[in-house]
Amino acid sequence: MSGNVGAFTLRGTSERARRGSLELAHGTVETPSFMPVGTVATVKGLTPRDLREIGSQIVLSNTYHLWLRPGGDTIAAAGGLHRFMAWDRPILTDSGGFQVFSLESQRRLDDDGVTFRSHIDGSTHRFTPENVVAFQERLGVDIAMMLDVCTKLPAPPGAIEDAVRRTTDWARRGTDAWTRGATALFGIVQGGLDERLRERSARELVPLELPGYAIGGLSVGETREEMARFTRFTAELLPAHKPRYLMGVGTVRDLIVAVDAGIDLLDCVYPTRSGRHGRALLHDGREINIRNATYTRDTAPLDPACSCDVCLTYERAYLSHLFRAGELLGMRLLSYHNVFVLNDVMAQARAAIERDAWPEFRQEIQARTA
């Protein structure tokens, strides 16, 4: 690894909540931090300027989808993913491991890797731990995720054990293939809802001394209570001096639970997907459907507690009108607002941890979201 790329500094704690800084090739990410998802090199409906305005420090994109289109050659010819999508801050790319779960009917899994049948044109594509790391390094991203096996829940113990075994083997192979350049490589702990397998997965991955570790295999069918329990359980298995990333959660309530468990990075499509469907996230943890008739003449801002440009400019009645009229602007404005809310909650969380007031902040949020 070049210089301090991937170095994590733990600046303070308040109970289990952590305040840190993660140094990456394209900037420093202050944690805890939420990462909006730009699956195919775009956070749907939002420009890079939008993302900077609303405080996004890092975005997530996806190896599987970029592999299929536009492909590594096109992105490399453009000068890498940052230049291709005109985003000058850090980027994390998922490995395609989630598609092992989400595209189960279109892939064939074996010990060497996974073969996908493209959901676009039916063509076949072979992913291995080695070529997935190489692809992400070629894109020039700041954080690359290891190829792993994510299983849906509930799942039989044998399937989860196989997933842990393959994830460990692939992590070792991926680590050997990693060039240790400007791209930091993270491992992913699997194990479903089995404490023994979670312990085994962490015990096998931590000695690889990777720059960071993710908690995978949650938010894939378990209850909210199970997710909270296993997030906390798994976080405690990971090194305190490395960043911890919980994959795939994105509501105000879930972010608070994750930070309370000691998580540093989070991501989800939820805020932009909700925005496209007329659902607005509020700072108090509630969500409203702006399409509802009650908002057609509501002259209040979308979220009275919000300082984003949408809430300072538009009334609920206008936003409701946009959705009822089928105007694309409505989707864009709600997506902008929703990502702002999660970024702002994380900024407030960082401030609370710095002044050792996390318990009071957590209780205030949870009282509103109960």
Contact 250, 266 (CB under 8 A): yes
264: amino acid identity, one letter: D
Where residue 58 falls (left for φ over 0; alpha for ψ -120 to 50; beta otherwise) is: beta
Looking at residue 2, its pLDDT comes to 43
* Strand intervals (E) in 78-224: 91-94, 107-109, 114-117, 124-127, 143-145, 184-189, 212-215
Which of 260, 267, 303, 344 is an active site residue? 267
User: Which tokens belong to 175?
Assistant: 């680590």
Question: What confidence tens digit (pLDDT) does each residue in 202-256 have?
Answer: 999 999 999 999 999 999 999 999 999 999 999 999 999 999 999 999 999 999 9
Total structural domains within the chain: 2
Asked whether the bond before 239 is cis by omega within 30 degrees of 0, the reply is: no
Out of 220, 235, 268, pick the residue that ends a domain.
Answer: 268
**Helix axes of 157-177 and 195-205: crossing angle, nearest 10 degrees:** 10
Out of 247, 268, 289, pick the residue that ends a domain.
Answer: 268
Which residues share a beta bridge with 102? none
| Closest residue by Cα to residue 301 from 289, 287, 317 | 317
Give per-residue burial for 186-200: e unless 16+ CB within 10 Å, then b. Answer: bbbbbbbbbeebbeb
Quick check: is 2 in a domain? no
Instruction: State yes or no: is 94 an active-site residue.
Output: yes
Which of 94, 254, 260, 344 is an active site residue? 94
| Residue 245: CATH number of its domain | 3.20.20.105
Report, as an integer, the average pLDDT of 257-284: 97
* Strand intervals (E) in 139-258: 143-145, 184-189, 212-215, 244-246
| Closest residue by Cα to residue 147 from 112, 123, 171, 121 | 171
The angle at the Cα of 235, spanning 103 to 98, to the nearest 5 degrees, equals 10
Rounded Cα distance between 75 and 135, Å, is 10
Quick check: is 131 in a domain? yes
Report, as an integer, the average pLDDT of 165-189: 98
Contact 191, 200 (CB under 8 A): yes
Note whether 113 and 209 are same-domain residues. Answer: yes
Note whether 204 and 67 are same-domain residues. Answer: yes
Report, as an integer, the average pLDDT of 273-301: 97
Which residues share a beta bridge with 266? 34, 246
Note whether 259 and 284 are same-domain residues. Answer: no
- The mean of the pLDDT values for the chain is 96
Looking at residue 366, its pLDDT comes to 86
Which residues constitute the domain of residue 197?
8-268
Quick check: is 166 in a domain? yes
Residue 3 has pLDDT above 80, yes or no: no
Looking at residue 101, its pLDDT comes to 86
User: Which tokens belong to 137?
Assistant: 């390094």
Residue 355 has pLDDT above 80, yes or no: yes
Instruction: State yes or no: is 121 an active-site residue.
Output: no
Rounded Cα distance between 268 and 180, Å, is 27
Note whether 286 and 177 are same-domain residues. Answer: no
| Residue with tokens 């949020």, as numbered in its chain | 365
Looking at residue 367, its pLDDT comes to 86
Report, as an integer, the average pLDDT of 16-43: 98
Report, as an integer, the average pLDDT of 118-125: 96
Question: What confidence tens digit (pLDDT) does each residue in 60-72 have?
Answer: 999 999 999 999 9
Report, as an integer, the average pLDDT of 98-119: 94
Q: Which residues does 324 contact at the CB level (< 8 Å), separation at least 6?
A: 291, 296
Give per-residue burial for 158-184: e unless 16+ CB within 10 Å, then b. Answer: eebbbbbbbbbebbbbbbebbeeebbb
Quick check: is 1 in a domain? no
Question: What confidence tens digit (pLDDT) does each residue in 135-172 have?
Answer: 999 999 999 999 999 988 988 889 999 999 999 999 99
Out of 202, 233, 268, pick the residue that ends a domain.
Answer: 268
Work out the percent of the chain whose per-residue pLDDT is above 90: 93
Looking at residue 1, its pLDDT comes to 40
Note whether 280 and 259 are same-domain residues. Answer: no
Q: Which residues does 114 contact at the CB level (< 8 Å), separation at least 6?
A: 96, 100, 107, 108, 126, 127, 147
Note whether 190 and 150 are same-domain residues. Answer: yes
Note whether 157 and 213 are same-domain residues. Answer: yes
| Residue with tokens 């731990």, as numbered in its chain | 129
Looking at residue 157, its pLDDT comes to 83
Rounded Cα distance between 283 and 142, Å, is 30
Model confidence at 325, pLDDT cuts 50, 70, 90, reads very high
Note whether 295 and 343 are same-domain residues. Answer: yes
* Integer angstrom CA distances of residue 52 from 45, 49, 55, 332, 343: 14, 5, 5, 15, 11
Note whether 149 and 198 are same-domain residues. Answer: yes
Query: What are the phi and psi torsion angles at 214 (to 5°)?
Result: -110, 155
Looking at residue 314, its pLDDT comes to 98
Looking at residue 370, its pLDDT comes to 66
